[in-house]
């Protein structure tokens, strides 16, 4: 850990990586909270995985793979949203199919792109240490976009997450805001792919918000706390992986998974103790060691 | 029926609706006058909730016409406060009662940004009206069934509606609370038109002005006419028999 801190002082690539992690945390906290309360983790997983199709196509045609990822993510968000709204009966089958088809398209394109086969792992599992500095600007711009859209339409997005029928009866265009939410998820997925790759995205998107959910009482606070937890987890993961030279993405995800588990158990115990305290107030409570 | 066309707030004419091949409602006619308190009764799966959803514009009739306040239901729905039978949200959602009631204010004011002062005042007034203002900071997870029912009523009132539609609002609360809620509704009826679905016709007859019996078809009775044969017919053999008698 101390070695990481001293290296951080004079290694620009570490500073860039740390900054990339912090920028990704904003998307994680803000959009991840909506994903968790709306319970659309499976949809988000579908969007994340089918992004490989866009990355593969961009590589094959010699375009920026990140732009390909963004285009594919938005396209797949709209497709998945349409499936959910129009084909509810077969929703999970169709989303599972889109999930796999997107990946298959990506693998085929990458296989036919000369010299790129080795880089597939980078997109699947990410490498925060390879984020080029100019990409921080793109990440910052995507964060700004997320914050502006959510700031403007928070009421409607929250209502669509909370109670679609009520939102519809109050004249909110539920279809529009639902698709908007999925597009926000798509943008966040692209942000996070930089850090952990598209296979692990779903964990980084949902775990910080789920941890925050154990303790907060409003979605707004959930967003703030989840952002802070995301920032802590990515920074700590980066630091822990530095000395033993571990891949950063999986380290961050394992750390997040561990913290989530510990928090779930702790919050369950706290809730049980609270119920017991209200049911049987124990006069000797203060005396126990 | 006494209402003239001038003061009718809801007009349903010749409406039929079916889910797939299964007809739910057939050639329904119903006119609701301003400040009426209409009870809607009938057996399970008889089409009560379907009728409400048609009036709210959540479903579109396959035949016939519906007008609410002289407009198609979808355009008029912001003037309706709706209290559903089951809350359409997860009870463990991290949200306070005040925020839930504020959602009743959606569709008023500008389309972006946060809630305004007027919205907060309206939400506060709605909570006071159902005597639940002390619940405002509570999490919805911590509410009892009766408290949640008041909050849903407050949410419907927060939009300052002209019509209040309630689907079995007292299905999950005890008898004392049920009378409480109906006393609130009686007061609200002084300024609002109310439609209420219930399974308990004997109980609601003390409050309502007219009862509509829905079982695929619809027949109205004035409350004075709800005597024991009618109630027996409702609870004993199918309501359809009542309907047939009245179709003469």
How far is Cα B125 from Cα A155, in angstroms, rounded to an integer? 20
Query: What CATH number labels B5-246?
Result: 3.40.50.300
Radius of gyration of the CA atoms of chain B, in A: 18
Look up the ipTM and state it. Answer: 0.84
Residues in chain A, overall count: 289
Cα–Cα distance between B151 and B80 in angstroms, integer? 16
Q: What is the pLDDT along chain A (289 residues), one digit of tens a residue?
A: 788 888 888 888 899 999 999 999 999 999 999 999 999 999 999 999 999 999 999 989 988 888 899 999 999 999 989 988 888 778 888 889 999 999 999 999 988 888 765 577 788 888 888 888 888 999 999 999 999 999 999 999 999 999 999 999 999 999 999 999 999 999 999 999 888 888 889 999 999 999 999 999 999 999 999 999 999 999 999 999 998 999 999 999 999 999 999 999 999 998 888 888 777 665 554 444 4
Give which of B99, B97, B185, B199 is closest to B144, Cα–Cα: B97
Predicted local distance difference test score (pLDDT) of residue B225: 58
From B73's Cα to the closest Cα of chain A, the distance in A is 10
Touching check for B100 and chain A: CB below 8 Å?
yes
What are B202-215's pLDDT values in tens digits?
777 778 888 888 88
Superfamily for domain range A2-8+18-278: ABC transporter involved in vitamin B12 uptake, BtuC (1.10.3470.10)
Under 8 Å between Cβ of A189 and A198: yes
In this predicted structure, what is the pLDDT of residue B238?
40
pLDDT tens digit string along A118-142? 577 788 888 888 888 888 999 999 9
What pLDDT digit, counting tens, does each position of A28-52 carry? Answer: 999 999 999 999 999 999 999 999 9
Distances (CA, A) of A25 to A68, A161, A205, A257: 22, 21, 9, 16
> Got the DSSP string for B72-133?
-HHHHGGGEEEE-SS-SS-TT-S-BHHHHHHGGGTTSS-SSS---HHHHHHHHHHHHHTT-G
* Contact state of B106 with A217 under an 8 Å Cβ cutoff: no
Chain A residue nearest residue B90, CA to CA: A162
Closest residue by Cα to residue A46 from A97, A10, A6 = A97
pLDDT of residue A289: 42
The kind and range of the H/E element at B19 are strand B8-19
Report yes or no: B50 and B25 within 8 Å, Cβ to Cβ: yes
For residue A209, the model assigns a pLDDT of: 97
Q: What is the pLDDT of residues B36-89, one digit of tens each?
A: 999 998 888 888 889 999 999 999 999 999 999 999 999 998 899 999 988 889
Residue A104: its pLDDT value, please?
94
Which site among A170, A222, A267 would you substitute to test the B interface, given the most B Cβ atoms closer than 10 Å to its Cβ? A170
Q: Is the pLDDT score of B109 beyond 80?
A: no
Which sequence spans correspond to the domains of chain B? 5-246
- Between B149 and B7, residue with greater pLDDT: B149
Nearest CA in chain A to B137: A217
- pLDDT for the residue numbered A128: 87
Tell me the pLDDT tens digit for each residue of B128-169.
988 899 999 999 999 988 889 889 999 999 999 999 999 988
Output the six-digit token pair for A109: 């394109």
pLDDT at A283: 53
pLDDT at B226: 58
Inter-chain touch A172–B113, beta carbons under 8 Å: no
For residue B116, the tally of other CB atoms under 10 A from its CB is: 13
In whole angstroms, give the CA distance from residue A243 to residue A170.
55
Strand B8-19 and strand B63-68: pairing?
antiparallel
How many other C-beta atoms lie within 10 A of the C-beta of residue B96?
Answer: 16
- pLDDT the model gives residue A158: 96
B106 closest CB neighbour out of A172, A216, A217 = A172
What string of DSSP letters covers B143-212?
Answer: --HHHHHHHHHHHHHHT--SEEEEESTTTTS-HHHHHHHHHHHHHHTTTSEEEEE-S-HHHHTTT-SEEE
Q: Which two tokens stand for residue A163?
A: 């109670």
């Amino acid at each position: 850990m101390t070695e990481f801190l001293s290296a951080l002082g004079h290694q620009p690539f570490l500073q860039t990586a740390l900054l990339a992690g912090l920028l990704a945390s904003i998307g994680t906290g803000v959009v991840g909270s909506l994903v968790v309360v709306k319970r659309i983790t499976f949809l988000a997983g579908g969007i994340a995985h089918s992004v490989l199709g866009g990355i593969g196509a961009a590589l094959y045609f010699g375009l920026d793979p990140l732009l390909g990822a963004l285009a594919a993510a938005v396209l797949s968000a709209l497709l998945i949203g349409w499936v959910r709204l129009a084909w509810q009966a077969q929703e999970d089958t169709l989303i599972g199919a889109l999930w796999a088809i997107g990946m298959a398209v990506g693998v085929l394109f990458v296989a036919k792109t000369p010299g790129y086969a080795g880089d597939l792992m980078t997109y699947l599992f990410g490498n925060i240490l390879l984020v080029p500095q100019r990409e921080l600007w793109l990440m910052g711009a995507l964060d700004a976009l997320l914050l502006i859209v959510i700031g403007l339409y928070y009421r409607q997005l929250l209502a669509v997450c909370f109670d679609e029928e009520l939102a519809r009866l109050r004249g909110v265009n539920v279809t529009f805001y639902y698709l908007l939410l999925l597009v926000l998820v798509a943008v966040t997925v692209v942000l996070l792919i930089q850090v952990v790759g598209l296979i692990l995205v779903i964990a980084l998107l949902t775990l910080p918000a789920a941890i925050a959910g154990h303790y907060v009482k409003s979605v707004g606070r959930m967003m703030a706390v989840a952002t802070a937890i995301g920032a802590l987890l990515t920074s700590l993961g980066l630091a822990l992986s530095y000395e033993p030279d571990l891949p950063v993405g999986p380290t961050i995800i394992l750390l997040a998974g561990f913290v989530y588990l510990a928090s779930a158990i702790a919050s369950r115990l706290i809730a049980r103790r609270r119920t017991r305290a209200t049911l049987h107030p124990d006069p000797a409570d203060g005396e126990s060691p | 029926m006494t209402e003239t066309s001038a003061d009718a707030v809801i007009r349903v004419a010749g409406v039929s609706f079916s889910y797939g091949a299964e007809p739910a409602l057939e050639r329904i006619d119903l006119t609701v006058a301003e400040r009426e308190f209409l009870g809607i009764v009938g057996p399970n799966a008889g089409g009560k909730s379907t009728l409400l959803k048609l009036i709210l514009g959540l479903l579109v009739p396959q035949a016939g016409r519906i007008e609410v306040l002289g407009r198609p239901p979808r355009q008029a729905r912001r003037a309706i406060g709706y209290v559903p039978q089951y809350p359409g949200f997860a009870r463990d959602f991290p949200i306070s009662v005040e925020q839930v009631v504020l959602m009743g204010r959606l569709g008023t004011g500008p389309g972006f940004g946060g809630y305004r002062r007027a919205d907060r005042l309206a939400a506060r007034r709605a909570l006071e009206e159902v005597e639940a203002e002390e619940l405002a900071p509570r999490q919805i997870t911590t509410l009892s069934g009766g408290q949640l029912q008041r909050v849903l009523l407050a949410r419907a009132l927060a939009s300052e509606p002209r019509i209040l539609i309630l689907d079995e609002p007292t299905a999950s609360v005890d008898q004392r609370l049920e009378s409480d809620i109906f006393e609130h509704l009686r007061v609200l009826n002084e300024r609002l038109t109310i439609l209420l679905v219930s399974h308990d016709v004997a109980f609601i007859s003390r409050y309502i002005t007219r009862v509509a019996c829905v079982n695929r078809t619809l027949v109205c009775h004035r409350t004075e006419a709800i005597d024991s044969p009618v109630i027996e017919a409702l609870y004993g053999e199918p309501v359809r028999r009542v309907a047939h008698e009245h179709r003469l």
